Amino acid sequence: MFFIAFLSVDNSDSAYTFDYSAENNNFTGSVISVADGVVRVDGLSSVKSGELIEIDNEGTLTNGIVLNLEPDQVCALLLDIDTRVRVGNSAKALGVQCGLQVGYHLLGRVIDPLGNPLDAQSDISPLDDDSTVTAWYLLERDAPGIIDRKPVDTPVETGLKVVDALFPIGRGQRELIVGDRQTGKTSIAVDAIINQCRVADLKDEAVYCVYVCVGQKLSSLVRIVETLKREGAMDRSVIVAANASSPAALQYLAPYAGCSVGEFFRDQGDH
């Protein structure tokens, strides 16, 4: 199942941070259980839902994201496949929510939901061009209000005649691609991305695409990247990937990361 969102809104915000006073010691705790990438921590009574925590195992640090709050305990998903986390390890709240650095420097790259490169190229860093805009975007951001939303008045040409003629999609509209296995859902999404780049060349406008891969095989991801490169669409695309071997936390965060990247281009006035 695929979910495509064509963004056409103007909204931005800053990263949330939580201020812990020096006399408050309720943001430290200890691990009491570890199972299948989920840790249960006792003592973090001041932690917030969605906040990052850091677990220390004799100098080896592992991050997690808090998802479940209980009166005396919290449950968090580990962001790394790290079996070295043990019962009794110390944990502390970091006071920040999960996010990633977004910008035009992500174009043409394959990243994980935290912004780390997966394509064996150089490290991802903002371009040296002074005109390059980068920002830190939260993975979970407030949705824009009705007043801030622009009307849907510009079509999105997918390149598929049956879709464009019978089920036209507009910029700012969300469209669900649903179907059984091996029915062409991925092909529809990839063809739409390729056609956006062709239309952009004809109309001399910038159209950027974000493809989110969740739980797929690595070979499928490589095939998609090679297709986009062969068709000349990779330079205007960003791929956010959390394949089948990625931790459950990254697979959970992948759609949020893809939306954050798309919202950056939206906030810059791009399509």
Question: What pLDDT, in 10s, does the model give residues 243-264?
Answer: 988 888 899 999 999 999 999 9
Where are the chain's structural domains?
2-14+99-267, 28-97
User: Which pLDDT score is estimated for 7?
Assistant: 44
Ranges of residues in the chain with a pLDDT under 70 are 1-26, 82-83, 122, 124-132, 204
pLDDT at residue 82, as a whole number: 63
- pLDDT at 22 (0 to 100): 36
The residues, ordered by sequence, that sit 6+ positions from 248 with a Cβ below 8 Å of its Cβ are: 36, 37, 77
Residues 92 and 97: their CA atoms lie apart, in Å, by 14
* pLDDT at res. 15: 41
Choosing among 3.40.50.2300, 2.40.30.20, 3.90.105.10, 3.40.50.720, the CATH entry for 28-97 is 2.40.30.20
Token duo for residue 80: 């790394």
Per-residue model confidence (pLDDT) at position 132: 58
**Would you state the pLDDT for residue 127?**
56
pLDDT for the residue numbered 196? 86
Q: How far is CA 146 from CA 3, 67, 121, 266, in A?
A: 21, 28, 41, 16
Nearest of 184, 186, 193, 185 to residue 157 by alpha carbon: 193
Domain 2-14+99-267 class, CATH top level: alpha beta
